[in-house]
Amino acid sequence: MTKHLIRRLLQAVPTLFGITVISFLLMQAAPGDPVSMLTFNPEVTAEGSARLRRQLGLDDPPLTQYLYWLVGNDWTQIDVDGDGSGDVQGVRKGLLRGDLGNSLVQKRPVLELITERIPATMQLMLSALLVGYSAGIVLGLIAAARHGSVIDQAIRFFSVVGTSLPGFWLGLLLIIIFSVQLKWLPLGGRQDLTDPDAGLALWDVASHMILPVSVLAMGIVASISRYVRAEALEIMGHDYIRTARAKGLNERSVFRSHVMRNALIPVATLLGPALGGLIGGSVITEQVFSWPGMGRMVITAISQRDFPLIMGTVLFSSVIFTLGVLLSDILYGLLDPRVRY
């Protein structure tokens, strides 16, 4: 197991490197940069814009920009005046030394901005993961136990609809119904438990989470329920299930002791894809519900062409997804004694 984990971690390094390269190339292909956003300000002259672009390194060749982001530029001089000679010393240490750079718009370290926003995003993602897995497993087992019934057909229909609904559409629909019409839940925002004004009003915290968590968990519930149902039905056709029935065990005992236990083991492998879906879904969900997390921050960064903040957020999200895949491997190996790495 240990050798397998080390091998998977080593395999993740080139994967993360490739993600950063692709992200950087996509940003280079996108029109505009943070300085071009200032051209609409009449107080910013063309000379000032050119000077700022050189200072930020936006005039450097793409390969040079990427290398500076990777290894830093504190070993070189920056030509701010455009006269061919270095004027100021570079200050970036680069990713390999733990420096993700500074936000071009907010003028703050990218790592600091991510650290501020990651608790809100993880609160949303972990809650959706818990709700999605719990509800999905229960619905999948019910559908398998009632195979061919109206309940089974209803759960199968829900699983298809749940994976097809766009998150932004579902979020707006829930806001219209539960916030605008019924006025049961807040329109959006987040209530922090550490906020002195929150006190012990746990319902205030939970009420802000119900709608965004429901939107994020919908796809997980649908996918898990369909997968668990298929696994349970396959297991119910195995020889050892028929043997258990022949020994006189009733259907409830067979289902609980043999079908349920074995059907839930492969669910651990879905943790990685589920995290990937949550990372992507949180970007839209946080924007719809004004949730102050990483997803909303990266949307703002994209609109402002804040390249260091975009790169840092993409890298951080990729690390979370990679760790999720690794965790699913560990869980699968622990739950299924037949698996040996």
192-225 pLDDT, tens digit per residue, is: 766 555 545 677 788 889 999 999 999 999 999 9
The first and second tokens of residue 157, run together, are 């229909």
State mean pLDDT over 285-292.
93
Rg (CA), the chain: 25
Residue 95 Rama label (left phi>0; alpha psi -120 to 50; beta): alpha
Distance CA(331)–CA(329), nearest Å, equals 6
Q: What is the pLDDT of residue 319?
A: 87
Q: 168: exposed, middle or buried (C-beta count within 10 Å: 0-12, 13-18, 19+)?
A: middle
| pLDDT higher than threshold 60 for residue 340 | no
| pLDDT higher than threshold 70 for residue 86 | no
The first and second tokens of residue 242, run together, are 């028929």
State mean pLDDT over 235-241.
81
| pLDDT higher than threshold 90 for residue 289 | yes
| pLDDT higher than threshold 60 for residue 135 | yes
pTM, 2 dp: 0.84
Q: What is the pLDDT of residue 174?
A: 94
Q: How confident is the model at residue 25 (pLDDT cuts 50, 70, 90)?
A: confident
Q: How confident is the model at residue 284 (pLDDT cuts 50, 70, 90)?
A: very high
Q: What is the pLDDT of residue 211?
A: 95
- The more confidently predicted of residues 76 and 229 is 229
Q: How confident is the model at residue 227 (pLDDT cuts 50, 70, 90)?
A: very high
Q: What is the pLDDT of residue 341?
A: 52
Q: What is the pLDDT of residue 123?
A: 92
State mean pLDDT over 5-22.
83
Q: What is the pLDDT of residue 39?
A: 60
Q: What is the mean pLDDT of the chain?
A: 84
Residue whose token pair is 């998150």: 167
Is the dihedral angle over the CA atoms 294, 299, 300, 301 positive or is it negative?
positive
Domains, the chain, in order of start with CATH, read 17-97 (no CATH), 119-335 (1.10.3720.10)
The string of DSSP letters for 213-267 reads: HHHHHHHHHHHHHHHHHHHHHHHTTSHHHHHHHHTT--HHHHIIIIIHHHHHGGG
State mean pLDDT over 290-314.
90
State mean pLDDT over 280-305.
91
- The more confidently predicted of residues 291 and 35 is 291
Q: How confident is the model at residue 172 (pLDDT cuts 50, 70, 90)?
A: very high
Q: What is the pLDDT of residue 121?
A: 93
Residue 103 Rama label (left phi>0; alpha psi -120 to 50; beta): beta
Q: What is the pLDDT of residue 339?
A: 58
